[in-house]
Amino acid sequence: MSTTCHHARLFALLLALLASASSAIGGATSMVPLPDAEVEVTEGAIVLRHGGVTLVYVDGLGWLADLVAPPPRLDDGIAWVAPAVAAALGMAPPTPAGAARAPAAGVLQGVRVAGSSELRVVLDLEGLTPDDLRSLGAVGRVEAGASLRLALPPLVPPEVLPVAAGVVGLRWELGQGGTTIELSGAAFAYEVFVLAAPTRLVIDLRPDRDGAPVPREVVEVLAPGVVYRSFRAAGSLGPSRVHLLQVAPGAGEWRVVGALGETRPTLDWAEGAFVAINGGYFEPGTRSAIGFLVVDGAWLSPPSRGRAAVGFGPDGVIIDRIETRVGVWLDGVLAVATGHELAGRIELHATTGSWAGSSRLGALLLDEDGVVVDNRVGPVRVPSGGRVVAYPAELRALALAEPGTRVRTAVAVTPASFAGVRYAVEAGPLLIQGGRDVFAPDLEAFVRGVRILDEVTQQAAIGVTADGTVLLLAAEAMVAGDLVPLLLDLGAVAAMRLDSGGSTTLVADGRVLNRNSERSVANAIVWRAEAGP
């Protein structure tokens, strides 16, 4: 037996062992420092290396190594991670941070500020019950130059405390006798209330603009068939400002704009269009789209993980989870048919430099001619001009493929209507299908517990009603699951979430409607009043 063949058989055995191992690594959520780990940082992605092990965290996707853990935090070049991540790197975690802190009545885990026309300040509190804070509940108004003071029990503060919420300044007084927050500056109306499980103190502010309060609801007809609404809707932390564009069917044209390896602010992608919203996820390091991307009939990026996508084509607007089944031929011999039960777990990746596969998948690295140049356990980077076929360990024929093997693939798309779309982009999770709640992030390989999905932040979504009206929505302070009842109330029969958080940007007639971070994104969904070439 040749050395190459022997290595291939050992590789196949390794994959089989990986396939039978547990599917996730658990762990506590306390953070521990890893001073001996090598850290590589790109915009939105963090790579950790130690002892020959590499772990990658991508914002919006989570850990690529099937870890169930919160994102890492960097402090002076040192990564702080959950104990499960330290264990995966083969490092014994030290005593959790904060263990030696002096006892106090409670811990102020963090302070979040969100909103633009209406502001929200949220204090995440540990060690206190809602009853400890009930007396703080109040509604009122503060004139310019005056202040609102809220007295809390003694709290251990986080490393950083915000000093402003929009035009309202925040001043903190910390002591053994208690913690005081003072809000002052512009005139504002306020509402203070407490939420339980976990305990949070919420301060809603409505600053005056030009001497007049911000209106509770706005309705504007921006163009024939285009209506803008701004209103408050219920969310997990109370009411949130929502910006909505309703575009009637039968007018104009929907497109997806984007390019491989290029990012721009949504406002730039919207040039020449009347309406736009940010699109799908991307890898900040390579600026490459993650998942299905079709621009003017060209498949720039294939579907990734059975996630939701929106397509525009002869069948109108399609919103659904898109799946592909991949058939594979090795040196002209069929190795995996598209009807094989594991064909739906094979992934094709063609975006140069993007991450492909995971530690539980094998990866065939192909050159520009479709010839195998390497066969290893993922995750791997897609080579320049080449492709990666990521496959489950059970597919022994692929695990034994040696360098020099010529690979051909075929793809079957479900739903079949996606095969004929002219424009499409993948994001997710799917929110509504057939007028019903189908929110199930785990089905689309989303990691739970990450900020962009399960914490309060800006949320972007697209939906369609029974009569074909398209809904573009940006909510300023919600979790992803809050979008479901909101869009159902708006009449959506199908809807999906788009890339959110700092990417959330809703544009109409050249202006950004929501609180905008001006973050560059890889693609956008746009509507032109006149169909173009």
Long-range contacts for 82-86 (Cβ within 8 Å, ≥24 apart)? Answer: 82/27, 82/28, 82/29, 82/30, 82/31, 82/32, 83/27, 83/28, 83/30, 83/32, 84/25, 84/26, 84/27, 84/28, 85/27, 85/48, 85/55, 86/32, 86/34
Confidence of residue 240 (pLDDT cuts 50, 70, 90): confident
Residue 339 pLDDT greater than 70, yes or no? yes
Residue 480 pLDDT greater than 80, yes or no? yes
Confidence of residue 453 (pLDDT cuts 50, 70, 90): confident
pLDDT-above-70 percentage for the chain: 86
Q: What angle do CA 289, 480, 62 make, to 5 degrees?
A: 50
Average pLDDT over every residue of 9-24:
41
Cα 68 to Cα 446: distance, rounded to the nearest angstrom: 10
Confidence of residue 139 (pLDDT cuts 50, 70, 90): confident
Higher-confidence residue: 229 or 351? 229
Instruction: Please state the domain extents for the chain.
Output: 3-88, 106-213, 236-318+421-528, 323-414
Average pLDDT over every residue of 299-309:
85
**Which of 55-64, 130-139, 239-248 has the lowest average pLDDT?**
55-64
Residue 328 pLDDT greater than 50, yes or no? yes
Confidence of residue 349 (pLDDT cuts 50, 70, 90): confident
**Which of 64-78, 159-173, 310-324, 443-457 has the lowest average pLDDT?**
64-78
Q: How many CB atoms lie within 10 A of CB 35?
A: 10
**Which of 40-54, 57-71, 116-130, 246-260 has the lowest average pLDDT?**
57-71
Confidence of residue 242 (pLDDT cuts 50, 70, 90): very high
| Mean pLDDT, the chain, integer | 84
Answer whether CATH 3.30.420.40 is correct for domain 106-213: no
The pTM is what?
A: 0.63
CB-based contact 336:328 (threshold 8 Å): yes
Confidence of residue 437 (pLDDT cuts 50, 70, 90): very high
